[in-house]
Amino acid sequence: MQLEVIGVGGAGCRIADAILERESEQRRFVGDAFAFDTDAESTAALEAIPEQHCHWFGDTIDEGLNGNLDRGFEVGEEYVDELGRILDEGRPSLADAFFLVVGSGGATGGGVVPHLISRLQSVYDKPVYVLAALPAKSELRTDETAGIDRQATADSAAGVGEARPMAEENTVRTLKRIDGLADAVICFDNEAWLHTDEKLADARDRLNRGLATRLEALFGASAAAEGDVAETVIDASDVARILDATDGTTTATLGYGAQTVETDDGGSRFGLGLIPTESSVDTTEAVSAVETTVNKALHGKLTLECDLEDVNRTMVVVGGPPDWLNRKGIADGRQTVQSETGSAQLLGGDAPRPDSDEVYTVLLLAGIEASDRLASLWRSPR
């Protein structure tokens, strides 16, 4: 599966950059990656996205948007054709889907993404998926509630840890605009992933890397390297069956679990790996490793917490060293997921990683009917 990854706004661009950085040389699933922002310094700080794909726009913006989402919508309408032309210069015709990444509490990403979705769907007959990062509570502080602190003020001026008192309201309005436009929205709740008393600015890189790991595990499963032979291959049509709803925009979340295992570097990995050898992995250990990662993915922290029984459709991908991908363990794991979610539709695949020493499971849980976090956003005063 090949994605056109498009980061919009500061947070969206940073996450898109982390996704491209995480992508393996052997298993490429990103066709092109773009970064669009009204802050030129922000795009210049990106490391993985090619400079020619980092685009500053908004020469009519004098002093930034300052959380003004109404102005963001105006800017989105004003510049969407310009951004669309830049995307056309990539390889959109080769992509299986567009993957827009946005910090939903910001004015730039929140204002531009709805217009960009409409533009893409009017030009290309491909799914448009959105990754929406939800704001942390600490971003909502103001000088009146947090006290005036000179260092905090200096950090804000530098774009680090700045207060965004409108972030929750912007998130609700952005998600409402996206609803019915995008095929699916995968949510990542920053608040749930922060450690106690941890600031988002300090955790940002860790959170982005963790999210990128989950996305690579899912979308990279279809990007096999030479020598990778999956028993059940995941492709773009499988992802579409889970994410694309017929009655609106699907809400989705990701679960992930991994376990380090011992691999025999001298056996089947000798030379070019062309000489087959019998597996030295104990069957019981292999089954246990798969089942452990499945349970971690189910009961560990999701990118958006939800009641598992409210999940309508699920994809289960188990990956790792081929000798550890025990078929019985994988089948039992899928049965466990089916039992605990009650999903009306469940698809599964495996992702052999001969160069890895980890067994992992990634879950794509879609069609979520209820989420306490989203419900609290809808109830927040505006």
Alpha carbons 265 and 8: distance in angstroms, whole number: 42
The answer to whether the beta carbons of residues 317 and 281 sit under 8 Å apart is: no
Which strand (E) or helix (H) includes residue 256? Answer: strand 250-260
The residues, any chain, with a CB within 8 Å of residue 315's CB and separated by 6 or more, are: 218, 234, 238, 239, 242, 346, 347, 348, 349, 363, 364, 366
Ligand-binding annotation for 107, yes or no, is yes
Give the count of beta carbons closer than 10 Å to the beta carbon of residue 370: 11
Residue 67 labeled ligand binder:
no
> Is 217 flagged in the annotation as binding?
no
Q: Is 131 exposed, middle or buried (0-12, 13-18, 19+ CB in 10 A)?
A: buried
Q: What is the DSSP string of 27-94?
A: S--EEEEEEEES-HHHHHT-SSS-GGGEEE--TT-SS--TT-HHHHHHHHHHHHHHHHHHHHTS-GGG
- Kindly give, in sequence order, each residue whose CB lies less than 8 Å from that of residue 127, ignoring residues fewer than 6 positions away: 96, 97, 98, 183, 184, 240, 243, 244
312 assigned ligand-binding residue:
no
208 annotated binding-site participant? yes
- C-alpha dihedral sign at 307, 308, 309, 315: positive
42 neighbors 63 (Cβ within 8 angstroms): no
Q: Using an 8 Å Cβ cutoff, are 22 and 209 in contact?
A: yes
- Establish whether 108 is an annotated binding residue: yes
Binding residues: 107-109, 139, 190, 208
Binding residues for GTP: 107-109, 139, 190, 208
